[in-house]
Amino acid sequence: MDRKAALERQPTSPAGSADAAATEAGYTLIEIVCVLAVVAMLAAILLPAIPRGTSRAGLEAYALETASVLKSDRTAAIRRRQQVATAVDAQSRSVRSGATGRIVRVPQDVLFNAVLPSRCNQRPTYSTISFFASGMSCGGTIDLIRMGVGYEIRVNWLTGGVEVVPHG
C-alpha cells in the first residue's frame, strides 16, 4: 500500500495549472488606461510650454511679408506722387508701413539686422527707407537669420525695387 501512494501523477504542462503567481503577472486593462490618461494629461500641460522656434518656412514668410510692406509703400509713393517712408526699428524688431500703418513684427529667435543709409536727399533718415514719387528710394537691406539660414530683403536705391534673396 505504501507503494501506491508514492506513484502520484505529475502534470505534463504548466499551462493547465492555476497558480496564484501566474494570475498576478501582467497588467489589467484599467491599469493601462489609467497610465495612458496620466501621460496624456502631462503632455497636454507640458507641450504648450515648450518653446518652439521659427521654422524655415516661417522665416521665409516674415521675409516675404516685409518685402510686401516695402513694395506697397513704393506703390503708394508713386500713386500719391509724394514721399512715403517705411520705418525700420531693429530694437523692437519691426517694420511699419508709412502708407497703411501695417506692422510686421519679427520673433525674438530670429536675428534682425538692418543696414540703412544715414542720410537721404541731404536729410537724416531716422531708421527709415524712403520711397519717392519717381519710384526711386534711399535703399537699404534687412537681414532675417535663424540658425545659419536667412533671407535678405534688398531695396535698390536707384529703381526702388524690392527683392528677397537667400542670405549667404
CB contact at 8 A, 104 and 164: no
Written as one letter, the residue type at 17 is: S
Q: Evaluate whether 93 touches 99 at the Cβ level (below 8 Å).
A: no
Sketch out the chain's domains with CATH numbers: 2-49 (no CATH), 56-166 (3.55.40.10)
Residue with cell 506692422: 103
The phi-psi region of residue 130 (left if phi > 0; otherwise alpha if psi is between -120 and 50; otherwise beta) is beta
Cα-Cα-Cα-Cα dihedral sign, residues 133, 97, 127, 147: negative
pLDDT tens track for 136-147 = 998 899 999 988
Give 15-70 pLDDT, tens digit per residue: 555 555 555 678 888 989 999 999 999 888 887 766 677 888 888 999 999 999 99
